Amino acid sequence: MAVLFVFLDGVGIGMKGGMNPLSNPALRSFSWFTKCDGLHSGCNEQLSENHLFKRVDANLNVEGYPQSGTGQTTLFTGINASERIGKHFGPYPHSALKPLLTEESLFRKMIKRGKSPFFLNAYPDIFFKKSESRNRWSCTTLMTRGAGIPLNSVKDVKNGKAVTAEIIQNAWREQLHPEVPEIEPEEASERALNALLNYDLVLYEYYLTDKAGHSKELAIAERILRPLDRFLFKIISDLKESDTLIITSDHGNIENMDVKTHTRNPVPLFVKGQCSFFKNVNSIAEITPSILNLFDAQK
């Protein structure tokens, strides 16, 4: 049994309409979970033995718009980071929250249980130079480093063991590493599924959804959703019955292209696999504990 955790940055559940690019029946992955025309507030929650879609709170009992630093810290530790510091904060983790990501993360807790976590994302050479010189790391990279897990680089992309931020490697090829070929989204899906053969927990982060939301450009949102949808649908189709897929977000954004800010909308929780461990989740703070409960139950 293995778990694939796909984290989508800035994906909330908004009203159906032309300014919500998620409310599109052509998005087969979201429609598979919602049994609806994409993802929007008119979609009914779904629950069966191996299929779940529900709305989850990302506001964390704090006023204002949720932010990535506190939202992701909460998501990956199970500790309400916004309440801990009394506000939403981002995009990078607040200094008071960094110890949570290095010491209390999902990855660290998995390792303490004798399990093997893996962060599927890869980073270009320039990322390492800038991050190390500034000592400024995102929540996921700080969590990974804190767990003693090496971050993937261009070598791992070339070897087919890691996935780039844009899935299809086009930005890497055009802007960073011309020797890196562009790939189809389904090839990236196969890398994720293959990783499940070697690790107990595999995490992949897609942040272009949040970036598109801030742009307020529907064309950008639609462009980055197409490869994501194909990537997810291939995983949904080919996931082994013994494995579990979890998809969620840290806050809303892309579901309302009328505004440049984040939103206070709920975020989706999608699960294919062992759904009983997630049916009572009501907040992003409850997702890491639920994943750990799933693994604990396998003993």
DSSP string, 87-111: S---SSPPTTTHHHHHHSSHHHHHH
- Residue pLDDT, tens place only, 12-35: 999 999 999 999 999 999 999 999
Lowest mean pLDDT among 121-130, 194-203, 265-274: 121-130
pLDDT band at 129 (very low <50, low <70, confident <90, very high): confident
Residues present in the chain in total: 299
Residue 233 parent element (H or E): helix 218-238
Q: What 3-state class would DSSP assign to 227?
A: helix
Domains of the chain: 3-296 (3.40.720.10)
As a whole-number percent, the residues of the chain with pLDDT over 70 amount to 100
- Residue pLDDT, tens place only, 145-191: 999 999 999 999 999 999 999 999 988 778 777 788 899 999 999 99
pLDDT of residue 132: 80
Q: What whole-number distance in Å separates Cα of residue 199 and Cα of residue 207?
A: 23
Q: What whole-number distance in Å separates Cα of residue 176 and Cα of residue 122?
A: 13
Return the C-alpha torsion angle 274, 167, 202, 9, nearest 10.
Answer: -70
- Residue pLDDT, tens place only, 231-252: 999 999 999 999 999 999 999 9
pLDDT of residue 144: 98
Residue 55 has pLDDT above 80, yes or no: yes
Q: What is the mean pLDDT of residues 38-67?
A: 98
pLDDT of residue 171: 82
Q: 190: how many CB neighbours lie within 10 A of its CB?
A: 16
Please tell me the pTM assigned to this model.
Answer: 0.97
pLDDT of residue 5: 99
Residue 131 has pLDDT above 90, yes or no: no
| Average pLDDT, rounded, for the chain | 96
pLDDT of residue 134: 81
C-alpha radius of gyration, the chain, whole number? 18
pLDDT band at 71 (very low <50, low <70, confident <90, very high): very high
Return the C-alpha torsion angle 177, 175, 91, 24, nearest 10.
Answer: -110
Residue 96 has pLDDT above 80, yes or no: yes
